Structure 1
Amino acid sequence: MSVLPLVFTSGWASGINAYAVVLLLGLFGATGISDEVPESLQRTDVLVAAGVLFLCEAVADKIPYVDSAWDSVHTVIRPVAGAVVAALLAGESGSLPELAAGAVGGSTALMSHLVKAGTRMAINTSPEPFSNIAMSTTEDLGVAAIITFAMFHPLAAAIIAATLLVLGVVTVVFLASRIRRFLRRRAQRREERRLAAAEGLPQRPPH
């Protein structure tokens, strides 16, 4: 059976939370739930690192503005993780060239990451933190659910992931005005900090 549906689903999930994907796949392989997980993802050091980073993301992802900063840092990390995981899955299966799998996983991860980052920018135009917490929790549970589902029904999981990706793109387009508002606010804050620092340069600290 082709590993392409699992590659696509893992790529989509990696764009949202790459550490959760690595941790879940590794655990599924280590516990014998799936024999399609490469041994490199089942290593203890990989599982520990993924677990620690997942906990860091679970906290950072729920704090307004910190979540967007975290997303900015992971603009490269998530697509690369999606590509690497996809290539490893393809190498384990042998039914899909690793380069092609990496391209599918990486590009899908990039698209879902941009959807996530754009949605968070729109949410951060609201001053309350509860929407950030609710969205982050929903994303974490969604990634866990769809990766688990993909272990048993890869094609159905891929269809769900593709549907969510399309809906996410439509949502970001719909929220474009709020995203632009967030970017203007962030640029304004940077300019205010720059001016404050410049004005403070000639001043000497009081004795």
Structure 2
Amino acid sequence: MTAALQLTRLLQLASPTLPVGAYTYSQGLEWAVECGVIRDEASCARWITDLLTHGIGRYEAPLVAALMRAWQADTDEALLRLNDDFLASRESAELRAETVQMGFSLHRLVRDLRDPGLSTVEARLAALATPAFPTGWAGMAAAWQIDPADALTAYLWSWAENQVMAALKAVPLGQASGQRLLAELGGLIPSVTVDALSLPESAWSNFTPGFAIACARHETQYSRLFRS
């Protein structure tokens, strides 16, 4: 696979048009808006930046890198363990439902793309009782021979973009605010990626109690735009 083709495949994986329904989830951000923790561009930047550097960057990102290694090594035991670890790490019912739904949709996409290079990914996902979204995403990235650093950068960018899009609707924020937020987050993602690639599993941590509370409180929020 040429470098140019790898890039186009990576852009496809990171695109908001990927039909997994990511745009319907805010991951607790909507509740943070409802209770006043997020009220403007500055407070939104603090919330998403903290979650990027202390949460997803220290758990989900290194887990995606480990999943890519498991896919490349063809080790089902490691794949199953990492998939189950991620499911167990979801602190609220909505967060778990999110990764299960998105994982299901991504598995269906793997089948519908009819790409012979993804046939092994489809089969190994089918062997998992409940494939989580990062598991399927890492499998596609590995099958398309995407460099792990590039894959993590795109994965984090896609997450950050979805958070900003949710903020544009829920706060609400203007388009210029959204672009400033993305520029700020984009400047942080390279260092978060480097750290995630070298972080040993014993140091992984998703200890973000404010995030967990927001996700749990969202489940009983009266008026909602998003599913999490």
TM range (shorter): 0.3 to 0.5
TM-score by length of 1: 0.38
TM-score by length of 2: 0.36
The structure with the largest helix share of the pair is 1
Larger radius of gyration: 1
Higher relative contact order (CA 8 A, sep 6+): 2
